[in-house]
Amino acid sequence: MFERDKAGLRRLGVPIQTIVLDDGESAAYRIRSSEFYLPYLGQTGVRSTGESRRIDRYGFRSLPTLLFEPEELRFVFRAAERVEQIGAGGLSDAAGCGLGKLRFDLGGVALHAPIAPEEVVLPPRAIADPHVLDALQDSLKRRKRVEIDHYSIGVDALATRSVEPYGLFLIGGNWYLAASDTRKNAWRTFRASRMRGVRVNESRPAQPGFQTPDEFSIREYARSRQAWEIGEDEAVQAIVEFRGEGGTVAAGARLGQVVSGDQHVRAFDVRRIDVFAR
């Protein structure tokens, strides 16, 4: 139970130091309050209602106030609202807690800004199960292998995959898992809303189960994906001839790879033929 509780605290972000005692064998554990408590939040030019001027040795009262510019606060507030709206399980719950802290610390400071039409968040057609997202986020934090029951549109069947999760990203309101398929030994992308179950490998809970490749960047991976490239099926190559000189033709051609010998022909790696055709 003690080991479980320590692991739980560390998952919450609480730093626990392990100290070897003088006998060289026994261990003690320490949590420094200065490394655990969060500072009060405030806005420049406005005194925060939660701010404490008294300095003593107990936890949060000895920490400084973190000040934001008004525009920074509105940006942070809007971002947290977005995360709360998109439905991301525990991540959305954490965003709600963050908004509560903002409201409490800032004591009624105006945080809202008018929402432009292009900023409206549209819900996706298929919502991922919050329990699935929570399990994936937990496996990512601890770098643990997972088994997923995933529905594949291409073969119209549910299949169980063993994967090493590398990262979650959001495109078009849908969550996707970038992972290494351990059976195929290849990177794959799985849509979270098509997962019917996720089982995290709990062997050696305090130790990671794999190492994410140094060359992998979830930011770059997500930015480089086109809609027809996202899927768990094997990729096929599509060869397309672009006729004409218009801007739309040129823009489409730039998305493909140059085929040697013909400047009007491009190659594409396609996992979703229906999406690519549209």
**Consecutive sets of 10 residues in the chain, 278 residues long: mean pLDDT of each?**
87 85 85 74 64 51 72 84 78 85 72 60 74 91 92 80 92 86 88 91 85 90 80 81 84 84 86 81
| Run of H or E including 2 | helix 2-11
State whether 144 and 223 are in the same domain.
yes
Which pLDDT does position 58 carry in this prediction? 54
Residue ending a domain, choose from 209, 229, 249: 229
State whether 148 and 210 are in the same domain.
yes
State whether 106 and 161 are in the same domain.
no
Which pLDDT does position 57 carry in this prediction? 56
| Cβ count within 10 A of residue 6 | 15
Report the alpha-carbon distance of residue 170 to residue 60 in Å, rounded: 35
Spatial contact of 255 and 210, defined as CB atoms under 8 Å apart: no
State whether 213 and 263 are in the same domain.
no
State whether 158 and 219 are in the same domain.
yes
Is residue 19 one of the residues assigned to a domain? Answer: no
Spatial contact of 227 and 275, defined as CB atoms under 8 Å apart: yes
Which pLDDT does position 52 carry in this prediction? 47
Is residue 123 one of the residues assigned to a domain? Answer: no
Which pLDDT does position 76 carry in this prediction? 84
Is residue 47 one of the residues assigned to a domain? Answer: yes
In the DSSP assignment, the letter for residue 21 is -
Sheet containing strand 174-181, edge to edge, reads 186-191, 174-181, 157-171, 146-152, 195-200
Q: How many residues does the chain have?
A: 278
State whether 245 and 225 are in the same domain.
no
State whether 136 and 225 are in the same domain.
yes
State whether 197 and 134 are in the same domain.
yes
Domain count, the chain: 3
Is residue 222 one of the residues assigned to a domain? Answer: yes
State whether 199 and 259 are in the same domain.
no
Domain that holds residue 221: 130-229
Spatial contact of 16 and 76, defined as CB atoms under 8 Å apart: no
Phi-psi region of 235 (alpha: psi -120 to 50; beta: other; left: phi over 0): beta
